[in-house]
Amino acid sequence: MKEQFKLENQLCFRLYTASRLVTQSYHPLLSVHGLTYPQYLVLLVLWEKDAQPVNDVAKRLVLETNTVTPLLKRMEAEGLLVRRKGTEDARQIIVSLTRKGKELQDKLDAVPLTIASSVICKSITQQTVPALFEMLDEIIEKFQAARE
């Protein structure tokens, strides 16, 4: 067998596995609040800046609008946010947090530190995290550029 086809030689497999396992580690922290990981990501975007167009939320999450819209509808049904037509452009849908959505920020305050501390190991330290972010950002940017 050619070395290039061995699973252990695949960068994509390592990235996929790391992503899946990190995402799974969020489950016990979020499920007690009735949240999924994708819903948490939407909340992160809206906690940074509330009242955003759906397109902007999708862009920040590096997702298509048709992927984000059903997620936003479920979150609206759960009382976490509201969707309304834009005042300047009625075709634009603006997403805003409800009080319940805003209050979750305090309830989930420990989540980022809990996840970060679970990732810290011999080669990933507080000092090396910025370099890791930079490398991952480069990978993301390269793949985004290839899609355009």
Using one digit for the tens of pLDDT, what is the confidence trace for 133-148? 999 999 999 998 888 7
Using one digit for the tens of pLDDT, what is the confidence trace for 73-128? 999 999 999 999 988 777 899 999 999 999 999 999 999 999 988 888 888 888 89
Total domain count, the chain? 3
Residues 83 and 59 in one domain: yes
Contacts of residue 116, Cβ cutoff 8 Å, sequence gap at least 6? 129
Domain range holding 81? 34-104
Residues 39 and 61 in one domain: yes
Measured over the CA atoms of residue 98, residue 113, residue 131 and residue 23, the dihedral's sign is negative
70 pLDDT above the threshold of 80:
yes
The CATH number linked to 58 is 1.10.10.10
Residues 133 and 84 in one domain: no
Residues 90 and 50 in one domain: yes
Residues 42 and 98 in one domain: yes
> What single-letter DSSP state applies at residue 5?
G
Give how far Cα 137 sits from Cα of 1, 112, 133, 142, Å. Answer: 33, 19, 6, 8
Q: For residues 43 and 131, give the distance between their C-alpha atoms in angstroms, rounded to a whole number.
A: 26
pLDDT recorded at residue 72: 97
